[in-house]
Structure 1
């Protein structure tokens, strides 16, 4: 804006039309590039996700600012609208996008005011009416913004300070607009303030876009904080319910024939939410050992809470003497009757050390893998559907006699990233030579974690290894 600090200073000459046209062309190319990026981004992700809404709001704000720049450069090239009573019809009449910037000058010596045609449009006033004086201008401003406008004008007239601030005006049509005002005092030859000159810009849409960005950012921050809190609660709940032992464990605690046990949970790559995966090993009252792994669909505190309930039920029913097949049927009935129905898969094994007999049942879950003599195989799978899939389901049982140094591997889906079913089992069976050379159960778990624990996995997974000793 040309400086008016001195009445004797000549006004700056406007830039050449060709240079402004070049700036307009560059601005429009940039608008096209931003709009193309925005359209590409809209094809990715989830539209209703807070992060996606925040990104859309930022793109809209950037495009809005570029629109303003385009319009302001066009106004700079074409010149201001005529003052009151001379506004032409057509492309630059009332409602033109170029009407968002206007100018005014208030002569303090004659008490005269001069407004551009754009300023009448911004304030919603009839161009046939005389412009308001500085004393009358606050009558258009909202009550809470009047002190700020008064302070800006006073500082300009008394202390010769430039004006740079915003206020809201209530137009006669009831619309409230936000106006950004920049102004300077015009000094007389004796140094006193002769008049005040200002440029006023309607920034209502710009501020609206900025509010949307702020609100979506706040929503995203709130969601992130909620996710962090939920993740922390889910982790604490999972750690509280899963077996507290680290390293290897021997069950039963007494007797020459025991199982050397080790287990580990492998987190998803995102580490955002904890799922319903579990593993468990428990010595029963008759000296048998319960082994189980399972997974509930979903993620978060609710799923982890349901997993806690289910694991508690597994332990209680096993302690009461329920065989694996009956235990699965009761688990299915329990999950089907919960307030928040869910689907789950599980494997439950009961190992008798006296006879080295393993009895097991499954509910839509990967079968255990048995490694012996440097090779491995998948155990024959008894019938069993997902927990919670249907009422009154019946679950079969299978029996396997183990030998000394046999290795049993139980796991949940997702242990082998990108592979499920037979493909995942084949990759795990391919570790047979390394597992045979590894030694104890904890060493075997370490081999599995080294092979599959560093890959990008979409979900959490658990692995439980039991090695027959004695």
Structure 2
């Protein structure tokens, strides 16, 4: 059999060093020309168009600096050690005019003026009013609000320019990273009269930077493997239940009580941060046990620990152990393990005779319930992570379900850029797409389409259960 690379189909070759050096020289010459034009356009900052032009020149220089650095990396080859993620103030993504909006906040009249593009970046209706500086933090992730407050305060009080990033949650639940550059506008008395800013959506750039860092890290791991001859284990993925879909049909109960579907979203890098599972178990009495969970650790250790926990869950569930007691015993099992680890889980037991769901959680996101086109989090009982507190006891909650209800269980790594609150907000935003005619498999497919993009460093699981009778 001929080699995949033949004389007719030669392997792609990297560009020669001379050609890359020529590109670097051209980039640096262009940087000098852009910088010269930028200096010529500097004025007193009172003209909005002038400020806009100057900001675009600044953005152009940032991007050219980024191109210069990437070309140098291409010329010099992969670094000797794992690459670190780029700093938050790195260059913006895409073309200069794409995803760039402007804003000005007048401190004397308390009026805000936004460009149409800024409304689009933030996912707001252009027909609505522009947000004031007091209202803007309402769009920002809670952990980034202190940063935004510090930026704005330093600009207004100390006349310092703004040049930093923060994350916003748009009304549709998506999270975007926004880079903000701005300056104060001073009045005749030297006091600040307004603040202007250029805001750019750099979400795609951040994902690209993570991809570059992850692929370089993967290259270094591959080189270490070749050098030592020891393969890197992938046991945590291999030991996990495969994607599946289907209905539970309890014995002697007639039609299925639950329409079930589940899926594993694999990590897009070779880094294995932990091991997640999803499981559905049919019991002889017609009840069903649904669990999702995860365990910290890497490679074979995480895989064996997850297999131990999943086996324990099934054994105790078949013995009739209720969810709260089951998690209490799992916590004791991890606490006495020879290799301590932390885990999280949510355990549900469904009683079809009364349509009652009994559930408990241990450091894990609560299930989501979708009904009549809306979704909500189930009221969460207390529950510390597994293995964190010796002797911990786990409370149990109960909820009565209706035919047509959809229950969604998930692990916490659906999107790396979202915290738990933002992930839940985005999942709840899918409620209109989980209509009455949608099966559990349809709903899982919708979640996978929404969260199945690149950049995930850990596996994630989602399990959907629709009440059918």
Paired position in structure 2 for 1:260? 259
| Residue 237 of structure 1, aligned match among 233, 236, 239 | 239
DSSP-derived class of the 2:465 partner: strand
May I ask how many residue pairs the two structures share in their alignment? Answer: 263
Gaps of 5+ in 2: 1-24, 26-68, 84-218
Aligned residue number for residue 268 of structure 2: 269
Q: CA RMSD, aligned part only?
A: 3.1
State the partner residue of 1:137. Answer: none
SS in structure 1 of the partner of residue 385 of structure 2? coil
Report the structure number with the largest CA radius of gyration: 1
Q: Which runs of 4+ in 1 moved over 6 A?
A: 225-228
Residue 231 and residue 456 in structure 1: after superposition, are their counterparts in 2 closer, same or farther (change >3 A)? same
TM-score, scaled to structure 2: 0.51
Q: Deviations over 1:305-356 (max 9, x none)?
A: 1000000000001111110000000000000111110000100000011111
Query: Given the superposition, is the C-alpha separation of residues 53 and 292 from structure 1 closer, same or farther in structure 2, using an over 3 Å criterion?
Result: same
SS in 2 for 1:247: strand
Relative to the length of structure 1, the TM-score reads: 0.51
Give how far 1:435 is off: 1.4
CA distance in 1, matches of 2:227, 2:443: 38
Aligned to 2:427: 428
For structure 1, which segment, 323-332 or 447-456, has the greater mean C-alpha deviation from structure 2 after superposition? 447-456
Give the one of 243, 246, 252 matched to 2:244: 246
Q: Secondary structure at the match of 1:370?
A: strand
Structure 1 position 220, deviation (Å): 5.6
Confirm whether residue 355 of structure 1 aligns to residue 357 of structure 2: no
SS in 2 for 1:436: coil
Partner of 1:311: 310
Provide structure 1 residue ranges, at least 5 long, that are not aligned to the other structure: 1-29, 31-39, 45-50, 57-216
1:358-437 matched pairs, under 5 angstroms: 358-436=357-435
CA distance in 1, matches of 2:299, 2:369: 32
Q: Could you report, residue by residue, the CA deviation over 1:248-304 in whole angstroms, capped at 9, with x for unpaired residues? A: 232425423511000011012214437310000001232210000001112312101
Aligned to 1:442: 441
- Kindly report which structure 2 residues correspond to 1:53-132, keeping only aligned pairs within 5 A, or say none: 53=80
SS, match of residue 276 in structure 1: strand
Paired residues of 2:234 and 2:300 also in contact (CA < 8 A): no
CA contact (8 A) 2:273 2:296 kept: no
With over 3 angstroms needed to count, the CA separation of the structure-2 counterparts of 1:220 and 1:454, relative to structure 1, is: closer
* Per-residue Cα deviation, 1:390-440 (whole angstroms, up to 9, x for no partner): 110010000000000100000001113421222211100000011116611
C-alpha distance in structure 1 between counterparts of 2:459 and 2:317, whole Å: 26
Distance 1:219 1:281, change over 3 A: closer
The secondary structure found in structure 1 opposite 2:274 is coil
| Contact 2:331 2:392 (8 Å CA) reproduced | yes
Shift of 1:53: 4.2
**What does residue 344 of structure 2 align with?**
345
Q: CA deviation at 1:236?
A: 2.7
**Match runs of 1:172-191 below 5 Å:** none
Say whether 1:321 aligns with 2:320: yes
What is the rounded CA distance, in whole Å, between the counterparts of 2:280 and 2:264 in structure 1? 14
Give the distance between the partners of 1:378 and 1:218, measured in 2 at CA.
Answer: 42
Structure 2 vs 1, CA of residues 233 and 387 (structure 1 numbering), >3 Å: closer, same or farther? closer
Distance 2:82 2:369 in 1: 51
Contact 2:273–2:457 at 8 Å: present in 1 too? Answer: no
Q: Deviations over 1:220-253 (max 9, x none)?
A: 6343688994344443322xxx2x6723232425
Alpha-carbon distance change, 455 to 52 in structure 1, aligned in 2, over 3 angstroms: closer
SS in 2 for 1:365: coil
